[in-house]
Structure 1
Amino acid sequence: MNQKVVLITGCSSGIGLALAARIAKDEKKRFMVYATMRNVSKGEALVEAAGRALGRTLEIKQLDVCDEDSIKACVDSLPERRVDILISNAGMGLIGPIECQSIDEMKTVMDTNFFGLVRLLKEVLPDMKRRKKGHIVVISSVMGIQGILFNDVYAASKFAVEGFCESLAVQALRFNLNISLIEPGPVITEFERKVYDEGLKTDLSKADPVTADIFLNIYLKNYKQIFETLGQTAEDVAEHTLKIMTMEDPPFRHQTNTLYTPMTTLKYADPNGDLPIDTFYKMVFEHDKVFNASLNFIKLLCWRSRKSFTIEKDKSN
């Protein structure tokens, strides 16, 4: 059986864990998954999720996207150093007023979310080019298209990822390679819970009273409700990603959450860029009751039909 080799980063929890388990359990056993994480001692949840696939179609390896030597060692350990599908998933979040964030914190986010991808590609891309075969799948975000209040640095890192991949995609075509950006909206994972918990600990002493009030009483107050209303599960995102991976002609961009699509569409509706900014401003500051009513209505629709977050499974499986 000619299995495709899949290398996934950030598999200790969340989307990465769901991806690794789902792909390794592919009914046709089309993939050999190397699920990586910075600290392999945190692999218990993946071991449990993988079940019988562990040691058969899934192996756990150490890889730190912020360490070039770690990346090289991991790729060197693969048979013939071959990677057919690279899934760049490892990432970190950061929320809050920029006045309250250190430059070092911001650099860490960029180093992980953007330069982590760059390091991976510097190691894997040359062989893909040589073989003229390969698929680069990047777990991006709708925040790589549309900036969101108090996610300034995280959005910047995802904008960087999107611009980098959009530029690289032109060259990739010359080598018969595919690049796909998977763009989830809110996803209910431990990643998001950790970001929220860290946000609660933010020292707001450097922020002015108005900014601090907006962060505490508008942003954090609505954070959980937005995720409960619009949020997908990591398993939903994994299904979408598997679908894109198995397409003969995969798209460059794919948004996984149709409920969030109207918000990102605003950006393309106005070349001046004012429409999405004005719309978000009014949602946040002028139409609080309408905003909450809309969320409750969407929540009702989702409760009545959970199909809102699913895609048709590949019938060929």
Structure 2
Amino acid sequence: MYFVIVYATMRNLSKGEALVEAAGRTLGRTLEIKQLDVCDENSIKECVDSLPERRVDILISNAGMGMIGPIECQSIDEMKTVMDTNFFGLVRLLKEVLPDMKRRKKGHIVVISSVMGIQGILFNDVYAASKFAVEGFCESLAVQALRFNLNISLIEPGPVITEFERKVYEEGLKTDLSKADKVTADMFTNIYLKNYKQIFETLGQSSEDVAEHTHKIITMDNPPFRHQTNTLYTPMTTLKYADPNGDLPIDTFYKMVFEHDKVFNASLNFLKLLRWRSRKSFTMEKDKSN
């Protein structure tokens, strides 16, 4: 009989109460929780060494941190921390796990990236840069991986409503804008932060929804290299591929934000209505089947 064991890792095990509660009876059977810090090579090695035969069939890399705001108000050290977690954290994991996968010629590397890995968003400069780095790294590595019969998949969610996003927003509210000019500070406060919650309420997915997409990818015989989880966001990323010069998405976003803000808000309300209707329909269908 074939058993699947999931090793869930956390940087700080003392914050694992919610995970332990959610795990229920699976804890200690098909689920084990281990300490791992993607910014610490020794931590990664100790975790992998603790696994039977150091075997990892599917690696899901989802450690990350966000940062929003004008770059004038962010220190280089803060930027380095984001890059160290989001990009070099993945690199450290693969340096430890990839050689064994190559030796066995079997394995699937699943990286939780972002639509911001293919399209930059206002005031997410450094976060987008870290995800662009992830995308380029994986795209390069994927060619080599094929030689060893390995799969690499990038999961690209749009906005996801989680504690992660709430913390990013709250940190954004605390931003010291004294180093930014008046126009930039006003843009961040009265345009970006003002619309932040509405955008997430309209376009945002739940973490459970993204998890379902991820499960689908890891159970496929021929998983895709890239997979976007949010069809409402897809038209925005498609703009980038529609214009090789790259001007179309930038001009479109500029006009949406600064010239057609009423149209932008109306579009968000329309999308919210569509999402509400689809959820209502789904709920009714479920009720009928019961």
* Aligned 8 A contact 1:136 1:179 in 2: yes
Residues 300, 315 of structure 1: CA spacing in aligned structure 2 closer, same or farther, 3 A cutoff?
closer
Matches within 5 A, 1:252-291: 252-291=225-264
Task: Report % sequence identity.
Answer: 93
Matching residue within 203, 207, 219 for 1:246 = 219
Deviation at 1:312, TM superposition (A): 14
Q: Distance in 2 between matches of 1:211 and 1:280?
A: 16
Equivalent residue of 2:199, what SS? helix
Runs of 4+ with deviation above 6 angstroms: 307-317
TM-score, normalization by structure 2 = 0.95
1:235 aligns with 2:211: no
What secondary structure does 2:215 align onto? helix
For residues 158-212 of structure 1, the C-alpha deviation after alignment (integer angstroms, 9 at most, x for no partner) is: 0000000000000000000000000000000000000000000000000000000
CA 312–101 in structure 1, closer or farther in 2 if over 3 Å, else same: farther
Match of 2:285, SS state, is: coil
CA 1:241–1:209 in 2, change beyond 3 Å: closer, same or farther? same
TM-fit CA distance, 1:51: 1.2
TM-score, scaled to structure 1? 0.87
SS in 1 for 2:33: strand
Cα gap change, 1:105/1:265 in structure 2, threshold over 3 Å: closer, same or farther? same
Could you say what the CA RMSD is over the residues aligned between the two structures, in angstroms? 3.0
Matched residue of 1:173: which SS? Answer: helix
Residues 255 and 288 of structure 1: CA distance in aligned 2, closer, same or farther (over 3 Å): same
Bigger mean CA deviation after superposition, 297-306 or 96-105: 297-306
1:142 lines up with 2:115 in the alignment: yes
2:233, 2:166 → 1: CA distance?
Answer: 20
Query: For residues 180 and 288 of structure 1, do their structure 2 counterparts lie closer, same or farther at Cα, with a shift above 3 Å needed?
Result: same
Compared CA separation, residues 311 and 155, structure 1 to 2 (3 A): farther
Are 1:101 and 2:94 matched, yes or no? Answer: no
* 1:307 shift after superposition: 8.7
The Cα offsets for residues 236-291 of structure 1, whole Å up to 9 and x where unpaired, read as 00000000000000000000000000000000000000000000000110011000
Q: Which has the higher helix share?
A: 2
Q: For residues 68 and 314 of structure 1, what CA distance do their matches in structure 2 show?
A: 50
Post-superposition offset of 1:308: 10
Aligned match of 2:103: 130
Rate the CA distance shift 1:308–1:261 in 2: closer, same or farther, 3 A: farther
Compute the displacement of 1:306 (Å).
2.4
In the other structure, the counterpart of 1:85 is 58
Q: Return the alpha-carbon distance in structure 1 between the equivalents of residues 181 and 41 of structure 2.
A: 40
CA shift digits 1:112-139 (9 cap, x unpaired): 0000000000000000000000000000
Structure 1: 5+ residue stretches without partners: 1-31
> Against the structure 1 CA distance between its residues 67 and 97, is the aligned structure 2 distance closer, same or farther, given a 3 Å change threshold?
same
CA shift in 2, pair 1:100/1:309, >3 Å: farther
Aligned-pair distance for 1:314? Answer: 21
Distance, in Å, in 2 between the alignment partners of 1:216 and 1:135 is 42
**Partners of 2:154 and 2:284 in 1: CA distance:** 17
Distance in structure 2 (CA, Å) of the matches to 1:58 and 1:311: 34
Per the alignment, in what secondary structure is the counterpart of residue 94 of structure 1? coil
Do 1:257 and 1:309's aligned partners in 2 also have CA atoms closer than 8 Å?
no
Task: Determine which of 266, 285, 289 is the counterpart of 1:312.
Answer: 285
Q: CA deviation at 1:53?
A: 1.1
Asked whether the equivalents of residues 236 and 309 of structure 1 are also in contact (C-alpha less than 8 Å), the reply is no
